[in-house]
Amino acid sequence: MSRVIGRLLVANRAEIASRVFRTCRRLGIETVAVHSDADAGLPYVREADAAVHLAGNAPAETYLDLDALVHAAKATGADAVHPGYGFLSENAAFARAVEAAGLTWVGPAPESIEAMGSKIEAKRIMREAGVPVLEAPEQPTEADLPLIVKASAGGGGRGMRVVRDLADLSGEIAAAEAEAASAFGDGTVFVEPYVERGRHVEVQVVGDRHGDVLVLGERDCSIQRRHQKVVEEAPAPDLADEVRTALHDAARSAAEAIGYVGAGTVEFLYDPERERFWFLEVNTRLQVEHPVTEEVHGVDLVALQLAVAEGGAVPEPTPPEGHAIEVRLYAEDPAADWQPQSGVLTTFEIPETDGIRVDAGFASGSAVSTHYDAMLAKVVAHAPTRRQAARALAGVLSRARIHGLATNRDLLVGILRDTDFLDARIGTDFLGRTSVVAASQQATPHRHLLVAATVALAEERRSRRTVQRGIPVGWRNVPSQPQRTTFAPDLDVDWHGTRDGYRVDGVEVVAAGPGSVTLAEDGVSATYAVRVDGTAVEVDGPLGHARLVEQPRFTDPADAVASGSLLAPMPGTVVSVAVSVGAEVQAGQPVLVLEAMKMQHTVSAPHAGTVTEIDVRPGAQVAAGEVLAVVRAVEES
């Protein structure tokens, strides 16, 4: 039975909600947003025609309340629900609740969701459909290593562990079960062989209620950190035509085997050395990386979802044109084991030019909370060739102004400019076998960035003077030594303030202000955009970006902590404590596990010694920088 959707509620948040709303506006469909307390100020809430505040005891659980979401749809006059991705997007009970309320469900049938919801059951179905499946023996031996533990009910790298020693298998299974239970409410895991140099290749499918399945090419999503994708592209590079055809045929068979309706993705693990592939899973929803398929095939996958939900038929396939690359911009610190970041994005400006698409969930001034995934935006480039797309995307990212939080922007630029990436030598091991991560973690910013920050700090303080406004900054009648500005960790800039401006050895300060500084050296000048926020300074320019924090000349005793203190790297919840007061620990031994932004982070002993304090218990909420425990070193003991 065909329906016409008039008002759509998106049961999700941030970037994906904004993405669906954009298509709805084009089609003339009214929109409804839902939001938690933490998300009330995000752009998607203002973009909708109506917004519903979802009350909840914990923000992380707000979007998981089936009854509240259905009630919000009914109360606002919505006649359809789009689940987005994550949260309840692959929850058959939610799909049934939506349909039972007389609303149109924009997604696959609940039976298809259930069939693919368990990766174990999904493998059985695919095996019977003739789709190649990767499986480990029930009793693995050393010859079967390495292995990988996966969550049966989830994805996104959560609940996933690589095992290289059989002695570690039981411990990794237990850890994966705990993380999977926390992330998905289901701790079931399974084990399969781990292909070291494999590639993650997936095929986009769209099925309709008439039994037809549209295959819209494939994507390569091999570049990952913590088993989570960070770079995706379409078409997949360096695939033999016969492999490409076989992948598409296998994806169609997989969709037909479960009577798939709507947009979905069939994921495969591809071994380029043997040109073989195996089924991984079916994602019964729209994928984060769907824009690259849209760009190369000239389609709107959200519009197709809506058309199929209304009873329409899928169109004829369109051949790919050009190449598209997408990067996921995260609020995380690659130099600190990918720790997610929270706080306020004081500036968030990504230039959109021809061939560039930005799907963002945040804007300047938005707060990034600890309750949800740390992805800020997806930035996509579409160009005639792969190298042209990579060049354009790297250029846009390098010119972006992103202030307030550490991000993976420099890492993404490094990937896009890396020779291995440009030559399509990619795989799930890419970040582990290349120098891209180390290069993005350059410890010392270029001296010009430090000088620009120093001058901008001085200019900002001059602008706030209430007396002696005519006196030059840093001026001394009889100078005996230079002024010194120190940024953490111990980065010094010596400078003089003169009647004619600033003097820094080897660098000419051509123009200075609190928001812009122009420097010259050897006849070459460049201008740096600067933002000063207290003692924190953000600098953007041709030599990259730096976030610098000025060190005080004297340390406040109240800020001092005991030697050996383990500080919370981010706000989060204590999941477990592995030791007790008085325990002897070795360097690197786990002390406790902290959960933040849906990921678990192990806090380990910094050195061998004795645990003298444990200041938290499981379930405790902690702030960034809070003392969790103290380990007194052996020599101190």
List strand residue ranges (DSSP E) for 152-255, in order.
161-163, 189-193, 199-207, 213-225, 228-234
Say which range, 108-112, 164-168, 323-327, 552-556, has the weakest mean pLDDT: 552-556
Rounded to an integer, the average pLDDT of 89-118 is 94
Is residue 124 situated within a structural domain? no
Whether residues 188 and 235 share a domain: the answer is no
Last residue of a domain, one of 106, 123, 157: 106
My answer on whether 516 and 465 are in the same domain is yes
Q: Domain boundary residue among 410, 440, 470?
A: 440
Predicted model pTM: 0.84
| 410 and 479 within one domain | no
In this predicted model, what pLDDT tens digit does every residue of 489-504 receive, in sequence order? 889 999 999 888 899 9
Sequence-ordered list of residues with C-beta below 8 angstroms from that of 321, at least 6 positions apart, any chain: 296, 297, 298
* 597 or 151, which is more confident: 151
Task: Say if 112 falls within a structural domain.
Answer: no
Q: Are residues 242 and 374 in the same domain?
A: yes
pLDDT at 52: 97
pLDDT per position as a tens digit, 358-380: 999 999 999 998 888 899 999 99
Same domain, 187 and 208: no
Does any domain span residue 347?
yes
Is the pLDDT confidence value at 636 over 60? no
Q: What is the pLDDT of residue 192?
A: 80
Here the CATH number for the domain that contains residue 170 is: 3.30.1490.20
How far is residue 334 from each of residues 324, 339, 409, 447, 569, measured CA to CA in Å? 25, 7, 10, 22, 13
Total domains in the chain come to 5
pLDDT at 558: 56
pLDDT, residue 141, reads 84
Residues carrying an active site annotation: 285
Judgement on whether residues 461 and 525 belong to the same structural domain of the protein: yes
Same structural domain, 621 and 528: no
Residue 544 pLDDT > 50, yes or no? yes
| Choice among 46-50, 134-138, 152-156, 244-248 with the minimum mean pLDDT | 152-156
Answer yes or no: is pLDDT of 1 > 70: no
pLDDT at 6 over 70: yes
| Residue 172 and residue 294 in one domain | no
CA atoms of 243 and 292, how far apart (whole Å): 20
pLDDT of residue 156: 60
Q: If you average pLDDT over residues 437-462, what whole number do you get?
A: 89
Whole-number pLDDT of residue 273: 87
CA-angle at 570, arms to 564 and 572, nearest 5°? 110
SS3 of the chain: helix, strand, coil, percent, to 5: 25, 30, 40
> Same structural domain for residues 329 and 241?
yes
Average pLDDT over residues 134-160: 77
Does the residue 539 lie in any domain?
A: yes
Q: Which residues of 485-502 are buried (b: 16+ CB within 10 A; e: fewer)?
A: bebeeebebebbbeeeeb
Task: Tell me, yes or no, whether 588 lies in a domain.
Answer: yes
Q: What is the pLDDT of residue 560?
A: 63
Report whether pLDDT(184) > 80.
no
Residue 290's nearest CA partner among 305, 312, 272 is 305
Task: Give the whole-angstrom CA distance, residue 629 versus residue 637.
Answer: 16
If 0-12 CB within 10 Å is exposed, 13-18 middle and 19+ buried, where does residue 612 land? middle
Does the structure show a pLDDT above 70 at 212?
yes
Is 125 part of any domain? no
- 522/581 same-domain check: no
**pLDDT band of 347, cuts 50, 70, 90:** very high
pLDDT tens sequence across 616-633 = 888 888 887 788 899 998
CATH, residue 565? 2.40.50.100
Amino acid, single-letter form, for residue 467: V
DSSP string of 309-353, one letter each residue = HTTPPP-------SEEEEEEEESEEGGGTTEE--EE-SEEE----
Find out whether the peptide bond into 479 is cis, omega within 30 degrees of 0: no
Mean pLDDT of the chain: 90
Report the range out of 53-67, 320-334, 463-477 with the highest average pLDDT: 320-334
Same domain membership, residue 243 and residue 206: yes
Confidence of residue 637 (pLDDT cuts 50, 70, 90): very low
Q: What is the CATH number of the domain that holds 381?
A: 3.30.470.20
593/512 same-domain check: no
Give the structural domain span for 58.
Answer: 7-106
Within a domain: residue 609? yes
* Residue 542 is assigned to a structural domain of this protein: yes
Percentage of the residues of the chain whose pLDDT score is greater than 70: 96
pLDDT tens, residue by residue, 517-526: 999 999 999 9
How does residue 229 score in pLDDT terms, banded at 50, 70 and 90? very high
Query: Which of 416, 440, 464 represents a domain boundary (last residue)?
Result: 440
